[in-house]
Structure 1
């Protein structure tokens, strides 16, 4: 599934082998394990020379993407394994309103040498809609209730 500015959301495929389930790894130049602490509302980041490929392995969070002065909220959870690819020059941040940390894998694709400013947060131009973000996570985790 494709979203704004080249962002892609792909369900993660798996193969069952006995009791274990094997998921397809993402090709990358570098793989990072990232923890988003509970009650985190992160500023935006813009990477100029990398594509982030995000996969939640524990917990949940809402990925925030800024495009045309509007936020798009993408809920991500371990219950629905998917990879979200964020290409260069797309401002994005994270919201974790739960009481638990969220662990995710970021399989980076490099398109040049990283710059220091790629990892400096930038203040969101206007506040996030935290009510909408919380509702999206609740719908993802408890689809019958929300």
Structure 2
């Protein structure tokens, strides 16, 4: 497990055929459908031998990652198809400001057997900056037109 790996956000490439648009598939060992409940602010958790590849398919939420002792707030929405890759060892969490649940596909890459400490919540030592999290979400909700 390398702690030097960082979370990556990548817009999906598309191919259009008639009225249908196809998005880049994500390779995985297993695929999970995850629901981030409405009005949720979760504690951090970490996977030791798992890479998450997250894609929002309905709704929006803010992914919080902790790296180099700083939080990074990544807004994700079904309106902007992007995959966020979270490597092993990176604490992360979610905030859903909406009154609606958010559905996320997680194309999981296994880097080893699951660890019993995976998914165990960790109380953040430093509180989340909810203003910064909300701001990240507002920026993708109303993009600036040049």
Same fold (TM over 0.5): yes
Structure 2 counterpart of 1:121: 121
Structure 2 counterpart of 1:78: 78
Q: TM-score, normalised by structure 1?
A: 0.93
Q: Equivalent residue of 2:118, what SS?
A: helix
How far apart are residue 68 of structure 1 and its match? Answer: 2.1
Output the CA distance in 2 between the equivalents of 1:79 and 1:66: 25
Output the CA distance in 2 between the equivalents of 1:98 and 1:142: 15
1:6 paired with 2:11, answer: no
Output the CA distance in 1 between the equivalents of 2:89 and 2:12: 25
1:110 paired with 2:116, answer: no
Q: TM-score, normalised by structure 2?
A: 0.93
Structure 1: 4+ residue segments shifted above 4 A: none
Structure 2 counterpart of 1:30: 30
Residue by residue over 1:67-121, the C-alpha shift from the partner in whole angstroms, topping out at 9 and shown as x without a partner, is 1221011111111110010000000000111111111100000011001211111
Q: Equivalent residue of 1:84, what SS?
A: strand
Output the CA distance in 2 between the equivalents of 1:68 and 1:124: 14
Output the CA distance in 2 between the equivalents of 1:129 and 1:6: 20
Q: Calculate the aligned-residue CA RMSD, in Å.
A: 1.4
Q: How does 1:17-96 map to 2 (within 5 A)?
A: 17-96=17-96
Query: Which has the larger share of helix?
Result: 1
Gaps of 5+ in 1: none
